[in-house]
Amino acid sequence: MPFTLTASLEGRPVPGLRVLLVDPYLRREDPMERKGQEQYPSLGLLSLAAFARQQGADVRVVDLTFARGLEPFDRALRSFTPEVVGVHTKTLTLPRALAIARRARAGGAFVLAGGPDSSSRPEPYLAGGFDAVATGEGETTLVDILQARAEGQSLFGLPGVAFLHEGTVVQGPPRPFLPDLDALPLPAWDLIDLEGYLSRWKRFTGTRRMAVVTSRGCPFDCSWCSKPTFGRSFRQRSIRSVLQELSALRELYGVDYVRICDDVFGIQRRWTEGFLDALIARRWGLQFECLSRADLLRPELLPRLKEAGLRRVFLGVESGSQAMLDLMNRGITLGQVERASAALRAHGIDQYWFLMLGYPGETLGDLDATVRLFRRFAPEEYSVSVAVPLPGTRLEKLVDEGAGGGSPQERPSLLYEGVFPPPVYRWTRARMRFWRRLDPITRRYVPLVGEKLGSATDWWSHEIARKVLTGGPPAEIPTRGSLLPPWLSNLLAGPPPRRSR
Binding site for ligand SF4 (CB under 6 A): 218, 220-222, 225, 263-264, 293, 316
CA neighbor of 360 nearest in space, from 323, 333, 414, 410: 323
Among 82, 115, 122, 320, binds ligand B12 (CB under 6 A): 115
Q: How far is the CB of 138 from ligand B12 (least distance, A)?
A: 2
For the chain, percent helix, then strand, then coil, each to nearest 5? 45, 15, 40
> What angle, 0 to 180 degrees and rounded to 10, lies between the N-to-C axes of helices 422-444 and 447-460?
160
Site string for ligand B12, 137-156 (x = CB under 6 A): xxx-xx--------------
40 is a site residue for ligand B12 (CB under 6 A): yes
**Among candidates 218, 213, 208, 269, which has minimal Cα distance to 245?**
213
Closest by CA to 32, choosing from 97, 91, 87, 72, is 91
Is residue 169 a contact residue for ligand B12 (CB under 6 A)?
no
What are the backbone dihedrals phi and psi of residue 395, each rounded to the nearest 5 degrees, phi first? -60, -40
Residues 6+ apart with CB under 8 A from 48: 21, 86, 114, 138, 139, 142
Residue nearest to ligand SF4 (CB): 225
User: Would you say 75 or 269 has its CB closer to ligand SF4?
Assistant: 269
398-400-402-403 Cα dihedral, nearest 10 degrees: 30
Task: Identify which of residues 70 and 315 has a Cβ nearer to ligand SF4 in the complex.
Answer: 315
Q: What is the DSSP letter of 187?
A: P
Cα atoms in the Cβ-side hemisphere of radius 13 Å centred on 30: 20
* 199 belongs to the binding site for ligand B12 (CB under 6 A): no
String marking each residue 261-280 x if it binds ligand B12 according to CB under 6 A: x-x-----------------
Contact between residue 359 and residue 385 where contact means Cβ atoms under 8 Å apart:
no
Pick between residue 212 and residue 264 the one whose CB is nearest to ligand SF4.
264
Say if CB 54 and CB 15 are below 8 A apart. no
- Least distance in Å: CB of 365 to ligand B12? 28
Q: Is 172 in the site for ligand B12 (CB under 6 A)?
A: no
Indicate which of ligand B12, ligand SF4, none lies near residue 266 (CB less than 5 to 8 Å, by partner kind): none
* Beta carbon of residue 366, minimum distance to ligand B12 (angstroms, whole number): 22
Tally Cβ neighbours within 10 Å of residue 251: 9
Q: How many residues does the chain have?
A: 501
Least distance (Å) from ligand B12 to the CB of residue 345?
24
Least distance to ligand SF4 from the beta carbon of 395, Å? 11
Task: Report the alpha-carbon distance of residue 29 to residue 69 in Å, rounded.
Answer: 10
SS3 39: coil
Q: Which does 222 bind (CB under 5 to 8 A by kind): ligand B12, ligand SF4, none?
A: ligand SF4
Residue of 7, 38, 307, 408 that binds ligand B12 (CB under 6 A): 38
Binding test (CB under 6 A) with ligand B12, winner from 8, 229, 351, 370: 229
Partner in contact with 43, chosen from ligand SF4, ligand B12, none, beta carbon below 5 to 8 Å by kind: ligand B12
The Cα 85–Cα 74 span in angstroms is: 12
Measured in degrees and rounded to the nearest 5, phi and psi for residue 431 equal -65, -40
Q: Is 47 in the site for ligand B12 (CB under 6 A)?
A: yes
Instruction: Write the Ramachandran bin of 269: left for phi over 0, alpha for psi from -120 to 50, otherwise beta.
Output: alpha
DSSP bridge pairs for 384 = 355
The only residue of 4, 7, 12, 37 in contact with ligand B12, by rule CB under 6 A: 37
Strand order in the sheet with 287-292: 209-212, 257-260, 287-292, 310-318, 350-357, 381-386
Q: Which partner, ligand B12, ligand SF4, none, binds residue 47 by CB below 5 to 8 Å per kind?
A: ligand B12
| Residue 42 partner contact from ligand B12, ligand SF4, none using kind-dependent CB cut-offs of 5 to 8 Å | ligand B12
Least Å distance between CB 211 and ligand SF4? 16
**Residue 330 Cβ, how far from ligand SF4 at the closest point, in Å?**
7
* Interacting span for ligand B12 (CB under 6 A) from 9-17, 71-79, 147-155, 226-234: 226-234
> From the list ligand B12, ligand SF4, none, which binds 473 (C-beta under 5 to 8 Å, kind-based)?
none
Q: What is the DSSP letter of 32?
A: G
Least distance (Å) from ligand SF4 to the CB of residue 357?
16
Closest CA to 360 of 419, 287, 308: 419
Q: Which residues are near ligand B12 by CB under 6 A?
A: 25, 32, 37-38, 40-45, 47-48, 86-88, 90-92, 112, 114-117, 120, 134, 137-139, 141-142, 213, 225-226, 229-230, 261, 263, 390
